[in-house]
Structure formats: C-alpha cells, structure tokens
Amino acid sequence: MSNEKINTDTAIAVSVITGFLGSGKTTLLNYLLQHPEIDETAVLINEFGEVGLDHLLVEELDDEVLLLSSGCICCTVQGELVDSLKSLYLKRLAGQLPPFKRVVIETTGLADPIPIITCLMKDPLFKHAYRLESLVTTVDAVHGSNQLDAHTEAVRQAAVSDKIVITKTDLANSATVTALRERLNGFNPGAWITTAINGEVTPNELFDSVKYDPKTKTLDVQRWLNEEAYTPSDGHEHGEHAHNHPIDVNRHDEHIISFCIYIDQPIAWHSFLNWFEDLANEKGERLLRVKGLVNIVGEDTPYVIHCVQATRHTPFRLSSWPENDRRSRIVFITYKLGKEEIEESLEALVKSNDKSDTKSPTQIKVSSNSDNSIQERWLNEGEISRIFGALSKHALEPSACALRLMLLTGTRVEDVCQATWEQFDLDGRIWNKPNINSARGQKRRIRLSDPVLTLLRGLNQKHHDSSWLFPNARCDGPVDDIDSLWKEVIQSADVEYTDLGNLRPTLATQLFARQDETVIQRLLGLPD
C-alpha cells in the first residue's frame, strides 16, 4: 500500500450518480443541470440526446463539451471513462475549460459503481487529481423493492451509496415508500436517504457533504464515516473490541451486512497496513466498502482509510481528532462476509502489535548521502500535472521550457540548463547528454518522446540563433533564473516547496498520452 499523502485542498471532488434502469437518473440530471448550484461543475453523461440541453446551451466548447447557462460544463463519455476524465482534467489545466471544482459522473442503468470508484482510487493521476466525494443512487419508489429482490446490481448500487434518492414518490402510496426506505436503511444504515418528485433535489444536498479536508472539515469526516448508524443504540462496550454487538443488527438478508468495529488501543502503522492489504487482497470481492479512522502508535491524530473491494485509497492524516473518542473505528459493508471473521483477524493484529513500529506515511525520502539533512523529493502525478498547468502561463520563456524538459525527460536541472542544440538529434529522436560520471566521456543517449519533440521544434523556431537550448536574455550564456520561476510555479500549483537540486528524476511523458494536440501545445506553452 502506498505511503503517500493526498492533498485534499487541490483534488477535484467527484460524485457518481447511479441507479437501476428507469429509476429517474435522467430526470434528476435534467433538474440538476439547470440549477444555479451546479456552477463550477463538470457533468459527464452518456449521451447528450438523452438529456434535453438545447434550452440551456450557452456555448459549444468542442464536439464533446457544452457550456450551459447554469455555469455547468456538460460532457459526453468518449470511449473509456478514464480517458474522458483525464482529457477533462488536462483541458482544465490548459485553460481550454473553465476551472471547475467538481465532477459528476452518470453511470448506465446496469453499471456497477464499484469499478468507477476503483478507477478514481487506483489510477496514478486520478488519486491525486480527483477525490471521491459521494456516491448517489436513485431508487424507483414504485418498482424499487422488486428490483432489489431480482437484481444483485440494484442491491450493490444502494449498499455502497452515501446518498439515496427515492424517486417517483408521487406515483406510490406512502406505505410503499416507507417500507422501501426502511429496507434501504436496513442494509445501508449510514446513507442519507431522501425522496424526490421530478428529480427536485438540489446539487448541494447531493454533492456537498463528503469532504476529506484535514484542515477545516473534520466534522465532515464524522458525517462521512457516520459510525453510529452501524452500531446498536444502546452504546458501545469498551475493551479491545465491542464483542457483544449483535452480529446481524444491520443485516438486510443473508448477503449484505454492515457493521462497525472499534479498537481501543493504538495500532502499529506497518502492521496495520499489512493487515489491511491482506484483507483487501483475500476478501476483496466481498468487501463492498470499508471506511474508517485509525489511531496509529506514535501519532497524535488519526488516519483516514477507505477501500472499495480490493482497491485501497491512499491513507491520509487528519490535523485533529473530530471528537474526544480516540478509538479506531472501521465501518464495513460486506457481501457474504461476517463480522466475526474480520474481528478475529483484527484481534490477532492487536495482540501482535509491535509498538516499536512507529513509522507513518511520508512523501519525502531521505538521500543515501552522508548528509542526512538533504531530503530528496519525488513529485506525484497530480503535482506534475498542476505544475504544467502553471507553466502554461509562461509560454516559451526559456526557464519555463527548461523546467518542462526536465520533467519530460527525468533529468537533473543542471543538465537542462547547460543543454545546447548540438547535443540533440531531432530527426533521430536522441539527446546525447554529457555524462559527468563516465570516465571515458561517454554520453548518455536519451530517447525523445513526442511531447519533447513538439517542445523542441517550437523552441527551435524561436531560439534558432542561439547555441544554447535555453538562452539567457541578458548575456551569451544559459538561462539563470530557473530557481525563481520554480518557486513561483510551485506556489501557483500548490505544491510543497523543494529545492530543484533535491528533486529526483520524474517522468511526465505519460501525462500527455492519447491527448488532443491542442491540449499538448497549450501545456507546453506553444501557440495553438
């Protein structure tokens, strides 16, 4: 499991709307898309034709993206969802789309929402660029109960949801609606459940409640976890675990079970990570959703964990406990997996607790250099993408292009600053870079990717009269203001400062894979 931290201040919130066929998703979307609270939101839908947009259209930004009068950006999913989300994000960074702060994804009627959540939690870029905010499920008041009986997909959609909207309540009698609400609450007691006629639920009701902000949103973490909903009303027993909770207190049927487990004493970090990873790998198909706060040995504040089937979200630390209770608490929603089995493995973990294991997640790696005060830094995919977005404002300034080449080739800052045109064979796609570590003066041959070639050819047209790749405007020499620009750019990109000399080689080439040429040119500072 990764030990990286997630920057929740910069990650874009993502909500997923799912629901069985005919449950009212399209009606709900029609209402949301024209509501003023949907501004600064990008909505990914299956087809424009299914949602009436003509009366809301302000501008057609491209073939796949529309700007609506509500301030919302509406997009169709082209091919794989991963590609659509990446394209949307990079167009935002390149300034081709308004700076949306939230994404809403519509699934098809038969879609299992878990693969979508897995995509957001597992993809290297998305786990830093996006954060899962909430999963919303629509349930038909008239046919919902029968659909839950007949279709596993309908049960799974409702079981993992944060919000459930019971639709078409004007077509069902009150007893039917009440029974359906009780049934949904039975296997997902932590979900917020509301009713709607003609899809009339405001965006902020659906999407503005689950924020993983460790600085200012600790109460939202409590609402997200909502552990009280998964435990009996007579309180908890103290001890290593609350053994006397009825195992089936929240059992809907023999398949879906939800419960919360408490642990009194702090847990060793790496021991817990190993346990959590083993659980997800071995029982992943039966873990619909896991979320919790964990008290780690040697830490003053808790870590948030989140898992959907076998996919674990990168844990992150809160700045404070949301309340005085310092126990670890983990909520499980499972499929054919009982509480006893998980409790037994947790008890074994606690008994074998190695309190000397106090290491916690870190994003900074210490160099093997004898001077241990020097800290080396690896940039994650989200940071790289934001840096390119910030650099796009500096066009073809030599220092900006030097930073781009450094990130695209994974080379050191001193290598790019001293680069000359004679080192490059653009036709052969090779950079013959001097190698100071070679006793025989052999050069290191670096293969040039398509984005690098695009950048260099744009530079060649502008600086063809200089032997330096990145010439100094004040003298005949290489650029010398790269450090000052770096400080400005990472501040704009909301990236923690690190000295350029301590930045470890980071390859950004994959960021541009399968992207529109105009997006690539914008992010490289080139004219359209």
Four-CA torsion 241, 191, 104, 392, nearest 10 degrees: -30
Predicted confidence (pLDDT) at residue 400 exceeds the cutoff of 90: yes
- Residue-wise DSSP of 291-356: EEEE-BTT-SS-EEEEEETTEEPPPEE-SS-SSS---EEEEEEEES--HHHHHHHHHHHHHT--TT
> CA–CA separation, 112 vs 406, rounded Å?
41
| Global pTM value | 0.67
Q: Which residue has the tokens 């008239």?
A: 142
Q: Which amino acid would we find at residue 483?
A: D
pLDDT at 88: 85
pLDDT at 153: 78
What average pLDDT does range 53-80 have in this prediction? 58
Predicted confidence (pLDDT) at residue 175 exceeds the cutoff of 90: yes
Pair of tokens at residue 491: 């501040």
Q: For the sheet with 424-425, list strands across it.
A: 424-425, 430-433, 444-447
CA distances from 392 to 416, 423, 481 (A): 18, 26, 17
Domains of the chain, start order: 12-207 (3.40.50.300), 218-351 (3.30.1220.10), 375-523 (1.10.443.10)
Give the residue with greater pLDDT, 56 vs 41. Answer: 41
H or E, element range at 459: helix 450-462
pLDDT at 243: 35
Task: Find out whether 314 and 258 touch, Cβ atoms under 8 Å.
Answer: no
| Position 401 confidence tier, pLDDT thresholds 50, 70, 90 | very high
| Position 403 confidence tier, pLDDT thresholds 50, 70, 90 | very high
Predicted confidence (pLDDT) at residue 213 exceeds the cutoff of 60: no
Give the residue with greater pLDDT, 305 vs 399. Answer: 399
pLDDT at 121: 67
> CA–CA separation, 480 vs 270, rounded Å?
44
Task: Find out whether 169 and 196 touch, Cβ atoms under 8 Å.
Answer: yes
449-459 per-position pLDDT tens digit: 888 999 998 88
| Position 74 confidence tier, pLDDT thresholds 50, 70, 90 | confident
> CA–CA separation, 80 vs 214, rounded Å?
32
> CA–CA separation, 408 vs 404, rounded Å?
6
> CA–CA separation, 386 vs 88, rounded Å?
14
Give the residue with greater pLDDT, 231 vs 307. Answer: 307
pLDDT at 219: 40
| Position 361 confidence tier, pLDDT thresholds 50, 70, 90 | very low
* Residue % of the chain over a pLDDT of 90: 15
H or E, element range at 33: helix 25-33
**What average pLDDT does the chain have?**
76
Give the residue with greater pLDDT, 252 vs 20. Answer: 20
Residue 481: HSE in the Cβ half-sphere, 13 Å Cα cutoff: 13
Predicted confidence (pLDDT) at residue 222 exceeds the cutoff of 90: no
| Position 139 confidence tier, pLDDT thresholds 50, 70, 90 | very high
Phi, psi of 140 (to 5 degrees): -70, 120
| Position 292 confidence tier, pLDDT thresholds 50, 70, 90 | confident
pLDDT at 489: 92
Tell me if residue 185 falls in helix, strand or coil: helix
Give the residue with greater pLDDT, 67 vs 115. Answer: 115
Give the residue with greater pLDDT, 287 vs 308. Answer: 287
Nearest CA to 102 out of 18, 26, 41, 156 is that of 41
Nearest CA to 526 out of 474, 469, 461 is that of 461
> CA–CA separation, 347 vs 279, rounded Å?
14
> CA–CA separation, 13 vs 133, rounded Å?
5
Predicted confidence (pLDDT) at residue 193 exceeds the cutoff of 70: yes
Q: Which amino acid would we find at residue 520?
A: I
Window from 122-126, 245-249, 283-287, 362-366 with minimum mean pLDDT: 362-366
Four-CA torsion 38, 44, 48, 50, nearest 10 degrees: -90
> CA–CA separation, 190 vs 228, rounded Å?
8
> CA–CA separation, 373 vs 370, rounded Å?
9
What average pLDDT does range 63-87 have in this prediction? 68
H or E, element range at 75: strand 73-76
Tell me if residue 227 falls in helix, strand or coil: helix
Pair of tokens at residue 461: 């047209």
Q: Which amino acid would we find at residue 429?
A: R
CA angle 210, 216, 219 (to 5 degrees): 50
Tell me if residue 184 falls in helix, strand or coil: helix
What average pLDDT does range 65-87 have in this prediction? 69
DSSP-derived pairing of the beta strands 287-294 and 303-308: antiparallel
> CA–CA separation, 361 vs 85, rounded Å?
28
